[in-house]
Amino acid sequence: MKLRGTTLLGVLILGIFLLSAFHQTLYTPPTTPATELAVASDTLKKDPDTGLVIDDNLMMVKAQCTSCHSPKLISQNRFTRDGWRQKIRWMQANHNLWDLGDTEKVVLDYLEKYYAPSQSYSRRAPLTNIEWYPLKLK
């Protein structure tokens, strides 16, 4: 009886030891490095010249927004439509940016679509049309 208890304890300790020793190899936690995440969430095609997302409106953005500074100032930033409009106003007030006229809407559409705050690390959109069902207990 005494021996069996000791053996059992020994097996238990050995088990715990092996488990902790091989824990790393057996179980790799499902974490994704931040860099991979960024790439995965950012699968849109980029224009090789500017690094900006390819879109029908890109030409207009290139024409209006890349003559004074690097397009990186755009791609590195995330603003709401209002935020982008304020940046444009700020450049118009301080840096001789011209009146964009009708093209301002096109440029803002583009910026809002691809360089809005939620785009960079967004989680999936909330589910819709869920068919809920009552849990049957018993």
Footprint of ligand HEC on this chain (CB under 6 A)?
64-65, 67-69, 73-74, 77, 87-88, 91, 95-97, 107, 111
- To ligand HEC, the closest distance from the beta carbon of 35 in angstroms equals 23
Return the SS3 of 22.
Answer: helix
Task: Kindly tell me which of 53 and 88 has the beta carbon lying closer to ligand HEC.
Answer: 88
> Under a CB-based contact definition with an 8 Å cutoff, are residues 50 and 102 in contact?
no
- What residues does 53 pair with on adjacent strands? 46
DSSP annotation string for 54-118: P-TTHHHHHHHHSSSS-THHHHT----HHHHHHHHHHHHHHS-PPP-TTHHHHHHHHHHHHSSHH
- To ligand HEC, the closest distance from the beta carbon of 84 in angstroms equals 6
Contacts of 104 (CB under 8 A, 6+ apart): 85, 88
Task: Kindly tell me which of 7 and 86 has the beta carbon lying closer to ligand HEC.
Answer: 86
Task: Kindly tell me which of 7 and 92 has the beta carbon lying closer to ligand HEC.
Answer: 92
- To ligand HEC, the closest distance from the beta carbon of 91 in angstroms equals 4
What's the number of CA atoms in the CB half-sphere (13 Å) around residue 41?
A: 16
Task: Kindly tell me which of 98 and 133 has the beta carbon lying closer to ligand HEC.
Answer: 98
Task: Kindly tell me which of 36 and 49 has the beta carbon lying closer to ligand HEC.
Answer: 49
- To ligand HEC, the closest distance from the beta carbon of 130 in angstroms equals 39
- To ligand HEC, the closest distance from the beta carbon of 28 in angstroms equals 40
